[in-house]
A and B are shown apart, each in its own frame.
Chain A
Amino acid sequence: MENAIELTHVSKSFGRFKAVDDLSLQVPRGTMFGLLGPNGAGKTTTIRMIMNITAPDSGEIRILGRPMDRAMQDRIGYLPEERGLYRKMKVIDHLYFLAAIKEVSRDTARERIAAWLDKMELRPWLNKKVDELSKGMQQKIQFIATIVHDPEILILDEPFAGLDPINVALMRDYFLDFRARGKTIIFCTHVLEQAEKLCDEICLISRSKKILEGSLKELKRRDSEGLIRLSANATLAEIGGLPGVATAKAADGGFVISLAPGVDQREFLKRALDRFPIEAFSRREPDLEEIYLDAVKGAGLEETRTIE
């Protein structure tokens, strides 16, 4: 599959501070790609380099198979983390303005904006000043502005920040709809639960370095080796005391156990059945947070697990 975005050994420093360190990643076309990591990991810098707002010190960035240039910028829709609108401007003027700086003709802009305004039921607010809109509505306006030029790639930096659950659900539908039309989305967040629900592929970065990447399904399967969900009439201490258990925690109305490497699941089940009655036993897929923590541990970066 052709890649929408390709980064090859990209590095970027600010003075002595290395913001992005030798980052390579491929974003296949038509995927929802999660760029994940804690605050300050280098996500925004990476995105700004993709957007040509900042240039990398070294390495190469290719968008839709071509090096990044100005024309490319107009084929990407970018919703930055730091986003706002001109407060005193009328909603409709604002939308036309943001379309104009993407070189969308007035007629095209009028059609697309009208369609979105109807979809989002924002029509009554057309001639109001941005000031008078709720935060959720302002975010919707920003979203319209992000896609008014019908981009092939959408880059969303913390798109759900500050939204209520209803609007989160609404926005998520728009994003999924966008992907369903064969377009690519880079979804950038530090909230792993959100990414888990949406992303096909992820790249985890921490402290300027990539620590994990791949398709979410693949990662889950790979990590689920030795992970077991168990319901039993026992205490956590008893479970933890079983031979072959690396870690155990109470979760999901039972226990989640990760087995030490090389321990066979059937052997383990037999031993457990000898001790106490087992109500349920299943393999369990890890959630993204567990995968993340595991990867961080593996990369020797444990102290950065201050993920929110």
Chain B
Amino acid sequence: MNWKKIFAIVRREYLERVRTKAFWFATLLIPVLFLGYIAIQVAISRKTGGERKLVVLDPTGSLYAPLARELAETEARQKKEASGSRGPHWELEQHPVAGSLAETKEALRKQVLEKTINGYLVLDPALLQKEEVEYYSTTVSDFIALNQLQSAVNRVWMRQKMAARGLPPDLTAELEKSINLRPFKVTEKGTSEEKGAGILAALIFLVLMYSTFFMYGYQVMRGVIEEKSSRIVEIIIASVRPTELMLGKIIGIGLVGLTQYFAWSLVAMNLSLPAIATLLSGGGDLGVPRIPLSMLGYFMLFFLLGYFLYASIYTTIAAPFNTDQEAQQLAMIPMMLILSGFLFYPAVMNNPNGDVAVFFSIFPFTASLVMFFRTALSEPPLWQIALSIALLLTTTVALAWFAGRIYRVGILMYGKKPTIPEILRWARYSPGKAAQPEAKRAS
């Protein structure tokens, strides 16, 4: 290995990428998109705020008044707790049952369609016996509003039942109070209350790692193919060994990734994470998530390990081909691997030390994402972390070796698209046999 030459390659790969507008665009745009996404989420949840004209059909005659009071109280309470967010504002109107219940419902249905009202609630005594009420509206997916309505009806109904049994109202109020479960995360270093921000940070980092594996893996692939299609590769390997070129490229592009992380973290530290936390908590005290150093450490470690692994796969895939399109088919392989590492996150979140989590955090092709996520959520046994890292390293070295052999032969292979058995045969060539038959070169 000639590190001076490798450094020249690294330098080129790094500078040529960092100097592009596309790089700075992505570096600035992704946090903006991220914040924008969250802002839209918040905006959507706020849309549940605003006025809702609700007609209540109350054949019981006894539920409407307490329900109206209950909803007004809920609204007042929410305003006091979180001044920033506006919950839905209910405008209630009682509607008499004219004729049969079915006829009245039909009349109200038309009103909903004409948009003179947002919806109507049917407190049918027959259904109430079965603990059911019906709500009709054009939109029934605004969960925040529906939840609020349901719990209000619930409380009113419960109070009425309690009153019917002769319980005093103060006891009823007492019974309504519910227990709040406060989660505390126990670690070697101590115990801290988990208010959701730590999990949120872990998720954000997981998404970041996942998307950068894609971005930079793909860039490695593109870079290799570009060198072939622009026919510069032979000029370079007249000075640099193929392995050195490959290594320089992977390191250079990896450094671009780290630079981007650095830029993002500057933005994040100052702005986005506290902002996100505040937004998501609805202005409540979620606390600014302090990203623990151990999380950052594990993030860097598993990012690098995963990046080298996937980059080796992407190099292997790119080397035999002359266009992106030709390589596209095989590019599915690392894509699926990265994706599967990511897709297990709900299972890992549910049980960070369960069988699924343990298995995929040790299986090298998903380990980087899953093991990082596990370390962020809980404290996996040290032997598992060590085993995961060891397997990742071994696999990466083996893959890099394999990639190097394919690369050496592949980069000199122009002309027709080689088949997969052909490509696999290249790996068996001794270093001395690393070039293509001249006869096969179509020019």
Which residues from chain A sit less than 8 Å from chain B, CB to CB?
14-15, 17, 19, 39-40, 42-45, 48, 51, 53-57, 70, 73-74, 76, 78-80, 82-89, 93, 97-98, 100-103, 142, 145
Contact = CB atoms under 8 A, between A and B. Distances in A.
A69 to B, nearest CB: 12
A142 B230 contact: no
Q: Is the interface of A mostly helix, strand, loop or mixed?
A: loop
A85 B16 CA distance: 14
A103 B432 contact: no
B277 interface: no
Contact of A84 (B5, B231, B433, B441): B231
Contacts of A43: 438
B235 A83 contact: yes
A14 B231 contact: no
B270 to A, nearest CB: 33
B273 to A, nearest CB: 35
A80 B234 contact: yes
A222 B226 CA distance: 49
A88 B16 contact: yes
A19 B439 CA distance: 8
8 contacts: A14-B439, A17-B439, A53-B234, A53-B412, A54-B434, A87-B230, A89-B16, A101-B239
Contacts of B437: 14-15, 17, 19
B4 A103 contact: yes
B239 A14 contact: no
Contacts of B120: none
A25 to B, nearest CB: 17
B280 interface: no
A39 to B, nearest CB: 7
A17 B435 CA distance: 13
A14 B433 contact: yes
B438 A42 contact: yes
Given A40-B438, A43-B438, 8 more contacts: A14-B435, A44-B438, A55-B432, A57-B432, A70-B2, A70-B241, A84-B235, A86-B230
A97 B8 contact: yes
A97 B144 CA distance: 60
B240 A101 contact: yes
Interface in B204-242: 226-227, 230-232, 234-241
B414 interface: yes
A40 B70 CA distance: 90
Contacts of B8: 97, 100-101
Nearest to B7: A100
Contacts of A101: 5, 8-9, 236, 239-240
B436 interface: yes
User: Which one of B235, B239, B433 has the highest number of Cβ atoms from chain A below 10 Å of its Cβ?
Assistant: B239
A97 B11 CA distance: 9
B443 interface: yes
Nearest to A101: B239
Contacts of A79: 235
A44 B438 CA distance: 7
A14 B436 contact: yes
Contact of B238 (A40, A78, A84): A78
B12 interface: yes
Contacts of A74: 239
A19 B414 contact: no
Query: Closest 3 interchain pairs by CB?
Result: A55-B432, A84-B231, A14-B437
Contacts of A44: 438, 441
A129 to B, nearest CB: 11
B99 interface: no
Given A17-B439, A40-B438, A53-B412, A98 B235 contact: yes
Contacts of B16: 86, 88-89, 93
B431 interface: yes
A159 B313 CA distance: 36
Contacts of A48: 412, 435
